[in-house]
Amino acid sequence: MRKIQVAIIGAGNISNTRHIPGLLLHKDLFEIVGVVSDETKKIVRTQKKYKFIKRKYCLDKNKEYLQQLKECNWFNQVDAVIIGTPPKQHYPLVKACLLLKKHVLVEKPMMMEEKECEEVNRLAKEKNCILYIMHSFQFSNGMIQLKKIYDNNELGNIKSILELQLTNRNRRLPVWYNELPLGLYYDEAAHFFYGARRFGGELKVLNAHAQFNHKDDATPRFLEVQMLAGHIPVQMYMNFNSPICEWGFILIGEKKIAIYDYFKDILILLKNDNQHYAKDVLRTSVSFFFQFWKGFVKNGLAMVRGKLLFGHDKCLERYAEAILKKEKCFELSGELGEEVVRAMNQVIEYVKE
């Protein structure tokens, strides 16, 4: 079987630590043709790390991408692209690649505006190309486990969803994040929106409120969102002034709650603690302790070795299935990407009021 010829567009952290390692796990499906970026130093760094990538092309971000990609002497060999650039570049790059009839897998968030999503979704259908969004955490090990538990009704009726984010801004962050609407929110929040969508249903934002550090800081110090996923109430709390980074997704059922730790890819299930007697509290505490440390030991070594890919590898597998077998995956679709962008922008409108 002929391998899918793929180009990496964007040579930053996400391309080097997630996209390329994920592709290397599927050498039977993909062959990396070359790397494209608008920064020569990033191309050099990527080729130094992955010496088998011989071809390169440096874009001028002040010129039209379509014409430049046409002029790249090896890009016509490419079947598909994986785009890991800043969000503001997604629309022009995705559009250019679709016009050249390349399949596209682009990082979240899909676009900046809903109308941009509508346009590229329509264009993908016209060109008979796959357009997928890297909504990766839906396919992390812990989330796959949670979906099985959910489908087996082990949690009982879902009463609500609670999503928590603590962010330490001293960690490695992209230099461009404060250029986005609400800054870091717009770069990171897609994970929480598609997570709620997976276990609830269509997203409807009801309200949002933010507090800011000062007028020159686009990223709020605190953001609170209330919405519905289908009929399930969702509460999202994001604190961008934290001394530590922790992200959590809590699915609250009548029988059990499921706590998913994004950064460690750990899932913890806790039973109903009945009347909350001392024995119930102790049982819950012991259960939490052992499940956490079991997951930590299991994933810790993989994380240190850079082998914990948080679902990127499985997204790439589904990308290949869509290209080769026409097996579509809604969880990665442009339609879901558009819904997420719409909800993210509704939050921004509420905050502006």
* C-alpha to C-alpha distance for 37 and 263, rounded to whole angstroms: 28
Please compute the mean of the pLDDT values over residues 302-316 and round it to a whole number: 86
Q: What residue type is assigned to position 320 of the chain?
A: A
DSSP code, position 19: I
Q: What is the pTM assigned to this prediction?
A: 0.95
Give 257-284 pLDDT, tens digit per residue.
Answer: 999 999 999 999 999 998 889 998 999 9
pLDDT for residue 307 is more than 90: no
Matching residue, tokens 């589904």: 318
pLDDT for residue 86 is more than 80: yes
Give 50-71 pLDDT, tens digit per residue.
Answer: 999 999 999 999 999 999 999 9
Six-digit token pair at 327? Answer: 């097996």
The predicted pLDDT at position 299 comes to 87
* C-alpha to C-alpha distance for 87 and 231, rounded to whole angstroms: 30
CATH code of domain 141-264+266-306:
3.30.360.10
Q: What residue type is assigned to position 278 of the chain?
A: A
pLDDT for residue 197 is more than 90: yes
Length in residues, the chain: 353
Give the number of other Cβ atoms within 10 Å of residue 241's Cβ. 14
* C-alpha to C-alpha distance for 115 and 131, rounded to whole angstroms: 16
Give the number of other Cβ atoms within 10 Å of residue 306's Cβ. 11
The predicted pLDDT at position 301 comes to 73
pLDDT for residue 223 is more than 90: yes
With cut-offs at 50, 70 and 90, classify the pLDDT of residue 329.
very high
Which CATH class for the 4-137+310-331 domain? alpha beta
Domain ranges in the chain with CATH number 3.40.50.720: 4-137+310-331
* C-alpha to C-alpha distance for 245 and 184, rounded to whole angstroms: 13
With cut-offs at 50, 70 and 90, classify the pLDDT of residue 146.
very high
Helix (H) or strand (E) holding 301: helix 278-304
Domain ranges in the chain with CATH number 3.30.360.10: 141-264+266-306
Give the number of other Cβ atoms within 10 Å of residue 73's Cβ. 8
Contact (Cβ atoms closer than 8 angstroms) between residue 7 and residue 103 = no
List beta partners, residue 268.
259
Matching residue, tokens 């559009």: 95
Please compute the mean of the pLDDT values over residues 335-344 and round it to a whole number: 98
pLDDT for residue 350 is more than 90: yes
* C-alpha to C-alpha distance for 272 and 347, rounded to whole angstroms: 33
* C-alpha to C-alpha distance for 124 and 130, rounded to whole angstroms: 6
Please compute the mean of the pLDDT values over residues 120-149 and round it to a whole number: 97
Please compute the mean of the pLDDT values over residues 198-210 and round it to a whole number: 97
* C-alpha to C-alpha distance for 81 and 106, rounded to whole angstroms: 8
List beta partners, residue 248.
164, 261
The predicted pLDDT at position 303 comes to 75
The predicted pLDDT at position 338 comes to 98
The predicted pLDDT at position 240 comes to 97
The predicted pLDDT at position 172 comes to 84
**Mean of per-residue pLDDT scores for the chain:** 95
Q: What residue type is assigned to position 19 of the chain?
A: H
pLDDT for residue 228 is more than 90: yes
Q: What residue type is assigned to position 339 of the chain?
A: E
Count Cβ neighbours within 10 Å for each residue of 83-94 and write b for 16 or more, e otherwise.
bbbbbebbbebb
Q: Judging by DSSP bridges, how do beta strands 203-212 and 158-166 pair with one another?
A: unpaired
With cut-offs at 50, 70 and 90, classify the pLDDT of residue 353.
confident
Residue % of the chain over a pLDDT of 70: 99
* C-alpha to C-alpha distance for 142 and 123, rounded to whole angstroms: 34
* C-alpha to C-alpha distance for 196 and 42, rounded to whole angstroms: 35
CA distances from residue 18 to 84, 95, 306 in whole angstroms, order as listed: 10, 23, 9
With cut-offs at 50, 70 and 90, classify the pLDDT of residue 2.
confident
